[in-house]
Amino acid sequence: MRLFTALWPVPEAIEDLAAAVSGLEPERVAEATDGLRKFRFTPSERWHLTLRFHGDDADQRQIAGDLDRRLRHLRADPPRLRLAGAGAFRGVLWVGVEPAAAADGEALRALVRAAGGDPRGFQGHLTIARWAGGHADRESLAGLLAGYAGPWWAAREVSVVASDLREGGPRYATVHRAPVTRGWSGRTVR
C-alpha cells in the first residue's frame, strides 16, 4: 500500500485557493501551458502538503505508531501558515506554504521530523496541477499564481494517507489522524 503523511489545509484555505484557480483567465492559462501535454488542474479535495512519502511497501501500523510517538514529544504550538506564491518543477505546478513567523517555520519542520522526514530538504508546497510531458516556460506557469496569498490558518492534524493509483488520478483514504496540539493522542481511522 502506498502511504504518505500529510498536512491538510483547513477548508477556508482550500476554498480561497480554489476560487483563485477558478478565477484564472483561460487565455492566460492556455498561453502558460502551451507546449504541455495533458495539463490538468488537480481536484481541490486532493490538495495537501506531503510531509513524508513512505512508499509502496510501508507498514501502516508502524508509521502511525512512530508518528504518534514523535508528536507526543513536540514542544511547539501548531504552526500558523498560509498558502502563498507558486512554482513549477517537472510535471507539477504548485503553490507554496508560508509560515507566519520563524517559530511557525520551526513548528512545520518539527511536523516533518515527526512524519519521519528530513526538514533540511523540505520545501512545503501543494500540487495544484500536473502534466504528462512537453516543454513550457516555468516562470510563466508559476506566474499564474505567483502573487497569490491565502488566509492564515493553524495546522489542526497530521494524517497518514493511503494512495490508490487509478486511471483518472489517485484516490486518497486517510488511515490515521493525529491532532497537532500539545498533549494529544492519535487515532486510527477505520
pLDDT at 53 > cutoff 90? yes
Rg (CA), the chain: 17
Grid coordinates in use for 12?
477556508
Q: pLDDT value at position 147?
A: 94
Residue 82 scores a pLDDT above 80: yes
- Active site amino acids: 48, 125
For residues 168 and 94, the model is more confident at: 94
CATH 3.20.20.140 fits domain 2-188: no
Q: How far is 177 from 161, CA to CA, in rounded Å?
A: 9
Count of all residues that appear for the chain in the document: 190
Q: Where are the domains of the chain?
A: 2-188
Among 17, 1, 16, which Cα is nearest to 127's?
A: 17
Q: Are 60 and 3 in contact (CB under 8 A)?
A: yes
- Flag whether pLDDT at 190 surpasses 70: no
SS3 150: coil
Rounded to an integer, the average pLDDT of 147-173 is: 90
The pTM (predicted TM-score) of the whole model is: 0.88
**What integer is the mean pLDDT of 103-127?**
93
Mean pLDDT value across residues 84-113: 94
For 172, the 3-state DSSP assignment is strand
Nearest to 89 by CA among 54, 127, 62, 117: 127
Q: Please tell me whether residue 92 adopts helix, strand or coil conformation.
A: strand
Q: What percent of the chain has pLDDT over 90?
A: 70
Please determine, for residue 122, whether its predicted confidence score (pLDDT) is greater than 80: yes
Alpha-helical (H) ranges within 23-161 are: 26-33, 60-72, 102-114, 138-143
The confidence score (pLDDT) of residue 182 equals: 56
